Structure 1
Amino acid sequence: MRISQLDGRAVGLWGWGREGRAAWRAIRARLPSLPLTLFCSEGEAADAAALGDALLRPRTGADAEALAALDVVVKSPGISPYRPEALAAAAHGTVFVGGTAQWFAERPDARTLCVTGTKGKSTTTALLAHLLRAAGVRTALAGNIGLPLLELLDAEAEAWAIELSSYQTGDVAASGTRPGIAVVTNVFPEHLDWHGSEARYVADKLALLTAGRPRIAVLNAEDPRLAALDLPDSEVRWYGRGDGWHLRGDALYRGDEAVLDTAGLPLPGRHNRGNLCAALTALDAFGLDAAALAPHARGFLPLPHRLQALGERDGLRWVNDSISTTPHAGIAALQLYPGPRTAILVGGHDRGLDWGVFADYVRRHPPGVVATMGQNGPRIFEALREAAAEGGFALRQAADLEAAVAAARAALGPGGGVLLLSPGAPSFGPYRDYAERGRHFARLGGFDPDAIAAIPGLGIA
C-alpha cells in the first residue's frame, strides 16, 4: 500500500519507537492534512504531543474496538498481528500494514538485496554493504539492523542492503513488489511469543521466499528447512556446498577455486565465515566479481553486541554477544570460546524455546560455568541440571545480569578465562533492547558502553 492510498481514510499508527516515528514523518511529508490516531504508552503520548502536530491524536491502549474503527493501521514491527485485538479488528475490515511494506510499495524500482535468517542476518547484511561499497556501488544499509527504511524514503542508492526480521518478511510480499535478491541464512525456532507457534514462525520467516518470490534466492545448503524448499518462481543459488561458495577448514572456496584464507578475517567463528559465503553469493547474483571483492572482507568492522571482544579485566576476557536470542546462538558462541575456562551467561525473556539442544551440547562440550539469569533463568537451570552433573561444569542461578556476572566470576576462580554474555534469550523486561543489555555488561566490566555501541556504515555511502 502506497502512502498516497491512505488519503481520505481513517488511519492509525500503532507504536512510537523509531519505526513509528519514521512512519509518521513519511506520512506527514506526503499527506500533511491527514488526521492520525497514535496508539502508544503514556510517556510516548507526551513525546508525540510535544511535536505540535494538531492532527496527531495520541491515545493510550489499543483495544479491538478502537482498532476496528480505523480503515488502516500502520503497525510497528514489534507488535504482532496475531494479538487478539489485532485479529478482531482485522475481522472487521481494518488493514494492518508495516513501514517496510510502505517503503517497498513506494520504491518498486530499487535494486534490493534482502537478508533474513534466525542467525547471521545482521552481519551478512553489513558485509554485503561493505563489499558493495568496496566495488564503488553507492549502497544503502538499512532495515532491522538499526535504520528504518522509511527514514530513507526519498534517498537514492544504486543498491539497497536490507535486513529483515521475521516481523517484516511478510511486509515485502504484502507490498506487491518482488525483491531482486533474497538471502536466507538459516531457520531455527525463535520469537514464538510474537508468532504464536514454531510452525507460524517458520512460515513467516520464509514468506520472503514463498510469498515474496524474489528473482534470485540465495540459500544456505546446510540448513535442512531451506534445502527442502521448492521455489518455482525464483532462481536459487546455494552456498555452503561444493559447487558454490563454501569453506574447507579456514580456506574460502568458490567451487574448486581457492579464493582466500579466512583465518585472519574480523569474523569470529565459523558461522560468521558462512555469512561471508552468503554475502559473496549475493554479490555474484548482483552481477559483481565476488572473488575479486572477497579480500575486502579484511577491512570489515564487526557489528557491536555480536561476539564482541570488549577487552580484558583482572585476567578475564569479556565477550559481549548480547544479540544472542536463541539457544543455537549460545552454542555458536561456545564453539568459538570452548573449554573449562569459559563462563557463559544465559537467560532473559522467556519465549518458550526448548533448551534441550543447548543442554545436549554442553553435556558433550562442557564449559567451565553456566550462569542462568532473567525470567527464564529458573527454567534453563532445571533443564541443565542433568547436563551439569554429567558434563562436570559448574551451574549457577542468579536473578539478573549483575548477579550472574558475580556468580560466574566466583565459580571460575583465579587463573583467567572468558566471561561470555550469550543469553540465548531476548532482553525484554529489564532492558529496552539487546544493545542496552550489552552496554550494561560493558559497564560491569569497566568498559565504556558508548565506545562499543555504534553500528558502522548505516545509511548511504
Structure 2
Amino acid sequence: MRISQLEAIAAGGGRIALWGWGREGHAAWRAIRAHAPALPLTLLCNAAEAADAATLGDALLACETQVDAARLSACAVVVKSPGISPYAPDALAAAAAGTRFIGGTALWFGARAAPGEVAAGTVCVTGTKGKSTTTALLAHLLRCAGRRTALAGNIGLPLLDLIDADADAWAIELSSYQTRDVAASGVRPDIAVVTNVFPEHLDWHGSEQRYVDDKLALVTQARPRIAVLNAADPRLSALALPHGEVRWFGREDGWHLRGDVLHRAGDAVLDTSALPLPGRHNRGNLCAVLTAIEALGIDAAPLAAAAADFVPLPHRLQTLGTRDGVTWVNDSISTTPHASLAALDVFRGRRVAILLGGHDRGLDWQAFADAMRTAAPVAIVTMGRNGPRIHDLLQPLAATAGFSLHAADDLESAVGLARSALARDALAGDGVLLLSPGAPSFGAYRDYTARGRHFAALGGFDPDAITAIPGLGIA
C-alpha cells in the first residue's frame, strides 16, 4: 500500500488512523504528513501520548484515548505500530468488520516499487536471535565494498524515516511483528535472510505455531528473489519454498565454519577467532552476511576480513569492563532461554554468575534446565516476574549440578548476589558477571536498553557510553 492510496481512501469517506505513538508511530506521522499534508488522521493512543501529539500543532490530527473494537472498526485503514498485536480481540473483531491493519514497513515497501516487483537492493534480515548483529554487519561490509548502504528497521531507525532516501543497498532488520508487513505491501524484497527460528514473543503472537508462521512469512509469503537460510536450523532446513531461489549458509557447499575457520565451500578464507563477534553463533551470522552479499552479485570473499573492523552492537554480549577482577557482560537483548544458553557457551570454562528472568511470556525453560546438568555456571540468580518459575525449575538441580541458586527481587539485588557468589573462592580475573536474562524487560523497565543501562550503572560504567548503535542511517 502507498500513502497516495490512503489519500484516495480518505477522499472516499474512509477513516485513516495511527495506532501507537512510539518511535514507529512518530515516523508514520512524519512520512504521511510529508506526502499527504491534507490527509485527516486519527491517533489512537493513551492520554500522555495525546498530550504529546497536541504539541505538534497538527489541526488534522485528532486523538482518541479509548481504543476498542468499535473505534477500530470505524476506520478503513489503521497504520499500526509493530508492538501492538493484531491478534488482540479488539483488533481481530475490527479486521473481521473490514478494517485493514498495516504497518510502516508496508508503507515503505509500497513506496519502493509497484506490487509484484522486486525492491532492488533490499536485504531483509529476521530471526529469533542474531538479526541485529547480522543486519549491522551486513551494512558494515557493504559499505566496505563501496556501496552506499542504509541500516534501518527494527534495529533503531524506522524505515519510514527514510521513505524519500536513496541508497545502493538497504540492510533492514525486521522483527516477527513486521515480517508480514512486507508480504502485505505486495512488493518483493530482493534478498531475505533468516538466521534461526525458535519460540519467542508468544504473548504477542498467541501461540508458538503462529510465531513461526509470522516469522517465516518473510520467505513463504513475501516472495523474495533469493532467500538466504541457515542450514543448521531444523525448521529452516525442512522448509520448502514455493517460489524464488534458496541459498544456504552453514552448509559445506557454501559459507560455513570448520572450528574457528571460515570456509567458502572447500576453500579456507579466514580464522574468525580474533573477530569482534563473540560466540560461535555470531560467527555463523558472518556466514549469513557473506551469503547475502553474494546474492547481491558482489564478490564476498575479499570482504570477509573487514569484519575485523566491525563495532559490536550494545546490549549484545557487550563486555563493559572489569571491576574487582570480575568482567561485566551486558546481554540485555537476550529474551529467550536459548539466548541465555548461547551466552553461557561464549564463556565456557570461566567462572560465571548469570542473571536470569524478567517479563513472563510463558516460554518453556526445560531445555535450559536440562543443559545445566552438565554445563552450569558457578551461580544463577533469578529475578523478575518469571524468576520464581525459573527458580523452582532449577532448584532440584542445584546441588547435584554444582551451582549456587539465588532469588532476587530486582536487578540491583541480583547483581549483589551474583558478586557475592563470585567472590567466594574467586580466581583473580576469571569471574564473569553476565546479564543474559532470557526474558523481556517489560514491567521493570521500558525496554532492554533501559535494563542494560541500569546494569552498566550498577557496575560503575557510563550508561551513555555503551548504548549508541553505530552506523544507523545511510553511509
Determine if the TM-score, normalized by the shorter chain, exceeds 0.5: yes
1:67-114 deviation per Cα after TM superposition (whole angstroms, max 9, x unaligned): 111111000000000000000111111110000011001112442001
Measure the CA separation in 2 of the matches of 1:364 and 1:56: 58
Measure the CA separation in 2 of the matches of 1:39 and 1:370: 42
- The 5-angstrom pairing of residues 11-410 of structure 1 reads 11-108=16-113, 109-339=119-349, 341-410=351-420
Q: What is aligned with 1:4?
A: 4
Deviates more, 1:18-27 or 1:31-40: 31-40
Q: What is aligned with 1:443?
A: 457
1:394-423 deviation per Cα after TM superposition (whole angstroms, max 9, x unaligned): 010111111111111112224251000000
> What is the percentage of aligned positions where both structures have the same residue?
73
- The DSSP-based 3-state class of the residue aligned with 2:385 is coil
- The DSSP-based 3-state class of the residue aligned with 1:318 is strand
- The DSSP-based 3-state class of the residue aligned with 1:418 is strand
Deviates more, 1:302-311 or 1:362-371: 362-371
Measure the CA separation in 2 of the matches of 1:199 and 1:270: 27
1:371-402 deviation per Cα after TM superposition (whole angstroms, max 9, x unaligned): 00001101111111122232110010111111
Asked if 2 retains the 8 angstrom alpha-carbon contact of 1:339 and 1:368, the reply is no
- TM-superposed CA distance for 1:232, in Å, is 2.9
Measure the CA separation in 1 of the matches of 2:132 and 2:331: 13
Root-mean-square deviation (CA), in Å? Answer: 0.9
Deviates more, 1:288-297 or 1:380-389: 380-389
Asked if 1 retains the 8 angstrom alpha-carbon contact of 2:124 and 2:172, the reply is yes
1:216-253 deviation per Cα after TM superposition (whole angstroms, max 9, x unaligned): 01000000000001113111101101111000111000
Measure the CA separation in 2 of the matches of 1:339 and 1:401: 25
Paired amino acid for 2:402:
G
- The DSSP-based 3-state class of the residue aligned with 1:325 is coil
Measure the CA separation in 2 of the matches of 1:268 and 1:61: 46
1:264-316 deviation per Cα after TM superposition (whole angstroms, max 9, x unaligned): 10000100000000000001111111101101001000000000000001111
- The DSSP-based 3-state class of the residue aligned with 2:31 is helix
Measure the CA separation in 1 of the matches of 2:249 and 2:120: 25
1:410-445 deviation per Cα after TM superposition (whole angstroms, max 9, x unaligned): 122242510000000001111111111100000000
For this pair of structures, how many residues does the alignment match? 461
- The DSSP-based 3-state class of the residue aligned with 1:205 is helix
Measure the CA separation in 2 of the matches of 1:358 and 1:371: 14
- TM-superposed CA distance for 1:340, in Å, is 6.2
Kindly indicate whether residue 433 of structure 2 is the aligned counterpart of residue 419 of structure 1: yes
Measure the CA separation in 2 of the matches of 1:42 and 1:410: 44
- TM-superposed CA distance for 1:341, in Å, is 1.6
Asked if 2 retains the 8 angstrom alpha-carbon contact of 1:319 and 1:418, the reply is yes
With structure 2 as the length reference, what TM-score do the two structures score?
0.96
Asked if 1 retains the 8 angstrom alpha-carbon contact of 2:15 and 2:77, the reply is yes
Measure the CA separation in 2 of the matches of 1:387 and 1:3: 57
- TM-superposed CA distance for 1:339, in Å, is 4.2
Measure the CA separation in 2 of the matches of 1:388 and 1:58: 53
Asked if 1 retains the 8 angstrom alpha-carbon contact of 2:135 and 2:173, the reply is yes
Q: What stretches of structure 1 of length at least 5 have no aligned partner? A: none
- TM-superposed CA distance for 1:57, in Å, is 1.2
- The DSSP-based 3-state class of the residue aligned with 2:62 is strand
Paired amino acid for 1:151:
D
Measure the CA separation in 2 of the matches of 1:11 and 1:232: 34
Asked if 2 retains the 8 angstrom alpha-carbon contact of 1:339 and 1:366, the reply is no
Asked if 2 retains the 8 angstrom alpha-carbon contact of 1:366 and 1:392, the reply is yes
Measure the CA separation in 1 of the matches of 2:373 and 2:244: 41
Measure the CA separation in 1 of the matches of 2:446 and 2:40: 30
Measure the CA separation in 2 of the matches of 1:244 and 1:321: 30
Q: What stretches of structure 2 of length at least 5 have no aligned partner? A: 114-118
Measure the CA separation in 1 of the matches of 2:462 and 2:320: 9
Paired amino acid for 2:22:
G
Paired amino acid for 2:95:
A
Paired amino acid for 1:425:
A
Measure the CA separation in 2 of the matches of 1:378 and 1:42: 34
Asked if 2 retains the 8 angstrom alpha-carbon contact of 1:13 and 1:38, the reply is yes
- The DSSP-based 3-state class of the residue aligned with 2:434 is strand
1:115-150 deviation per Cα after TM superposition (whole angstroms, max 9, x unaligned): 000000000000110000000000000000000000
Q: What is aligned with 2:116?
A: none
Measure the CA separation in 2 of the matches of 1:339 and 1:420: 14
Measure the CA separation in 1 of the matches of 2:188 and 2:102: 17
Measure the CA separation in 2 of the matches of 1:413 and 1:245: 43
Q: 1:434 aligns with which of 438, 444, 448?
A: 448
- The DSSP-based 3-state class of the residue aligned with 1:77 is coil
Measure the CA separation in 2 of the matches of 1:315 and 1:251: 31
Paired amino acid for 1:20:
G
- The DSSP-based 3-state class of the residue aligned with 2:445 is coil
Measure the CA separation in 2 of the matches of 1:386 and 1:31: 61
Measure the CA separation in 2 of the matches of 1:188 and 1:157: 33
Measure the CA separation in 1 of the matches of 2:354 and 2:217: 34
